[in-house]
Structure 1
């Protein structure tokens, strides 16, 4: 009796040499490992980006106060008809939050928001496992900041027809901050629970490719639409 027949007779199922479905599942379930998926890299990038956002918020707040004191004088970032902080600061989009006659410039809220994200980044750098509810709320807060910054950028380009250099810097800082936060939420905090696709996305470094393509597309759109006036 052959060896195969003996195994069949004993009720033992022969082990297959290759099982593609099981191999794919195990590959998808693998958690991303390494420095670029850890808390030091992701929260470090988030900290740097949030610090840049906080710095630009302080500058915009100072420029807003300067404009209020001397409305007839140009600001330091008024380069030409396209690169003009004054035109953006005088628009209604620059003061979304209003309570009656009280109007609050967006830069003041930027100081508060970026301070919160800096705090989260510092806590994450310490290797602290954040509560699940807090990580989810932080991610949605980052998503809101991301969407809000691009809404303001679209208003500047297509409605106000003027670009604020500091606002553009804040937009890109928010982009990098949110992407680093999303990476940390998945690979460090382990959210969501069923993250097979996200594990493969980050483990194969597709996020780097998506980040670079996104930023290049936005820069290309800006230069295609306003490049002639910017470099005039």
Structure 2
């Protein structure tokens, strides 16, 4: 194996940054939910307009899919990327099975976020600021962990696919931007965001 695969420093730095940003978004949403519980009928501080707001999302059933507020998942879950990234920077080497399990967690987060994006845009008709921060870090984090898992052989893949995953790591920013653009187009088509903002 090559050194970058053994000690993926760029991935580690990203995981720490993404985990910290995602955790802060989850913490902020949790505080907003507590504020709404303590003050029924109040508005959340992230409620900027009928379109851009957190309140409707937090108080909907989609905001507590598992019986408790979704941000609690973020408070617990975003610690993992921070710990994994920090451990790599400290010199830890993880086995392939670990990367497969970590990918399973990231894939679950990605799938949940995609579902929440659909619910937000097509059902609730809102764009939650802190939720969007979570989307921004979850999407590239999943792509990065997926490609890393493939390139190191944590997932069964032929050598050609592993090499392609290794090359695609350099294209992660573009992949993320294209994903954000797709979400923006869907939001514009459904919610007419530009008209609402201007």
Name the TM-score class by shorter chain: 0.7 to 0.9
- 2:93 is aligned with 1:132: no
8 A contact 1:146–1:178 mirrored in 2? yes
Does 1:51 find its partner at 2:16?
no
- 1:118 is matched with which residue? 82
Number of aligned positions between the proteins: 195
Output the CA distance in 2 between the equivalents of 1:35 and 1:173.
22
Tell me by how many angstroms 1:206 deviates: 4.6
Matches within 5 A, 1:185-200: 185-187=149-151, 189-192=152-155, 194-200=158-164
**Corresponding residue SS for 1:60:** helix
Query: Could you tell me the TM-score, scaled by structure 1's length?
Result: 0.75
Measured after TM superposition, the shift of residue 212 of structure 1 is 2.8
Is residue 2:197 matched to residue 1:231?
yes
- Judging by fraction of residues, say which structure has more helix: 2
* 2:24 paired with 1:84: no
> Structure 2: 5+ residue runs without aligned partners?
none
Q: TM-score, normalised by structure 2?
A: 0.87
d(CA) in 1 for partners of 2:190, 2:105: 30
Q: Which has the higher contact order (CA 8 A, sep 6+)?
A: 1
In 1, Cα distance between equivalents of 2:142 and 2:71 = 18
- Structure 1 residue runs without a partner (length 5+): 1-30, 99-103
| Shift in CA distance, 198/190, structure 1 to aligned 2, threshold 3 Å | closer
SS in 2 for 1:97: coil
Change (3 A) 1:229 1:69: farther
Would the alpha carbon gap of residues 36 and 135 (structure 1) be closer, same or farther in structure 2, given more than 3 Å must change?
closer
| Greater Rg over alpha carbons, structure | 1
Q: Relative to 1, partners in 2 of residues 1:220 and 1:38: Cα closer, same or farther, differing over 3 Å? A: farther
